[in-house]
Amino acid sequence: MAHIIPFKAVRPTRDKVSLVAARSYQSYTLEQRESRLRDNPFSFLHIVNPGYKFDKQISGEARYNLVRNRYLEFKEDAIFVQDQQPCYYIYQIKDRDQQVFNGIVAATSAEDYENDVIKKHEDTIEFREVIFKDYLKTVGFNAEPVLLTYPDNAVIAEIIKEVQKARSEYEFTTTYRDTHLLWKVDDADQIKKISQEFQQMETVYIADGHHRSSSSYLLYKDLKETNPTHTGQEPYNFFMSYLIPESDLRIHEFNRVITDLNGLTKEEFLIHLDMMYRIENRGQVPYHPNKKHHFSMYLDGDFYSIYLRKASYPIENSLDGLDAQILFKTILGPILGIQDLRNESRIGYINGKKDIVSMKSAIDNGNYRVGFGMVPVSIEEMKTIADDGFKMPPKSTFIEPKLRCGVTIYEF
């Protein structure tokens, strides 16, 4: 039974939301960040990059405290206001490819995460969990929801449709030409029906935000252990999520790039690879695989297609059949010496929504030596792996939609 509840969001005023809303900090280039910080005093980037005010790079606990200060200043200046009663928030994204995503922003239970009601399909990188947990503990808010998905539900879909007949609280279009709309659900009957429908669901699945949800869970454990009057109703028992039906989810792959060949020459590497794969040099023509267990590879200016020799690799469970796991078990680990994907610095990731040439560019510029591409994971494959209790390797999926930071904020 999923315990999903409304909450009192801190939100930008209607006239400021388009100026406040921002992508995740890491998604901007240095030049893009500088432009937005220089030209837009309302951008949420001013909160997460508080050192800009002092023309200085600040990190660690000092940065976290300044983030907290910038956030409080936005509240004091009435850029942010808080709703007076708990609400659900219907959030719609219409992207530039004409895809439409409809979901509900809500508070989801850390206990559900602990008890596997909220199911995980992907492993996380440990140091990122701890860093973000410490960050949350200091700043006291979360401004970027975890993306969860649930089985398509006719009752929830009808409520969303009904709510969207009214004027939206927000409507703004980004420079990426994505249009974002938000409606507040404060009707008691509608809130009750939404909560009841979620309570009847045995499981919901994390689609995107494994590190954010894991960090929120670690924070919950920390605060629970240090609170002698813990009741289970404190705000830290929950974290903010955006829940969308499975039919709205869009899944892309993450391509892998590796810094070196683990001491091997190109010829030695290809000989090792031949033991498990059929290899074809495609030359300068970019190659992208179109079926499971087929991979693309880019090495020394050439693209290759590499096909798994299935007789050499037994598939005994759902995780064994995952392409990211096959790549790890047959190439990254035994040949390239990458054993701990959670903490390995020799591997990088490029989301598959970008052209395969992006992988080529990352290698041609000298930062990496070899790259691998694969086909995306299906929603059925993702759910089966989660249901079977397995975890995918980190960065196995790049999932849409992507929300903006600072549109709804959850305080704890």
Pairwise CA distance, residues 51 & 48, whole Å: 9
pLDDT per residue over 297-328, tens digit each? 999 999 999 999 989 899 999 999 999 999 99
Mean pLDDT across 52-80: 92
Between CA 299 and CA 101 the distance in angstroms is 38
Whether the per-residue pLDDT at 85 is higher than 80: the answer is: yes
Predicted pLDDT at 299: 97
Given a cut of 90, whether residue 365 has pLDDT beyond it is: yes
Give the pLDDT score at 173.
94
Q: How far apart are CA 412 and CA 409, in angstroms?
A: 10
Of the pLDDT bands very low, low, confident and very high (cuts 50, 70, 90), residue 270 is very high
Contacts of 59 (CB under 8 A, 6+ apart): none
State the pLDDT confidence band at 354, using cuts at 50, 70 and 90. Answer: confident
pLDDT surpasses 80 at 410: yes
Query: Does residue 233 have a pLDDT over 90?
Result: yes
At 131-186, the pLDDT tens digits run: 999 999 999 999 999 999 999 999 999 999 999 999 999 999 998 889 999 999 99
Any idea what the Cα angle at residue 320 is, between residues 151 and 402, rounded to 5°? Answer: 40
- The pLDDT of residue 193 is 98
55: left (phi over 0), alpha (psi -120 to 50) or beta: left
SS (HEC) of the chain: CCCEECECCEEECCCCHHHHCECCHHHCCHHHHHHHHHHCCCCCHHHHCHHHHHCCCCCHHHHHHHHHHHHHHHHHCCCEEECCCCEEEEEEEECCCCCEEEEEEEEEEHHHHHCCCEECCECCCHHHHHHHHHHHHHHCEECCCEEEEECCCHHHHHHHHHHCCCCCCEEEECCCCCEEEEEEECCHHHHHHHHHHHHCCCCEEEEECHHHHHHHHHHHHHHHHCCCCCCCCCHHHEEEEEEEEHHHCEEECEEEEECCCCCCCHHHHHHHHHCCEEEEEEECCCCCCCCCCEEEEEECCEEEEEEECHHHCCCCCCCCCCHHHHHHHHHHCCCCCCCCCCCCCCEEEEECCCCCHHHHHHHHCCCCCEEEECCCCCHHHHHHHHHCCCCECCCCCEEECCCCECCCEEEC
| Per-residue pLDDT at 318 | 96
Q: Mean pLDDT over residues 62-91, rounded?
A: 97
- Give me the pLDDT at residue 151, please: 96
Instruction: Give the pLDDT confidence score for residue 56 in this predicted structure.
Output: 81
What pLDDT score was predicted for residue 66?
Answer: 96
Question: Where do you find CATH 3.30.1760 in the chain?
Answer: 254-375
Summarize the confidence of residues 88-108 as an average pLDDT. Answer: 94
* Percentage of the residues of the chain whose pLDDT score is greater than 90: 82
Is the domain spanning 254-375 CATH 3.30.1760? The answer is yes
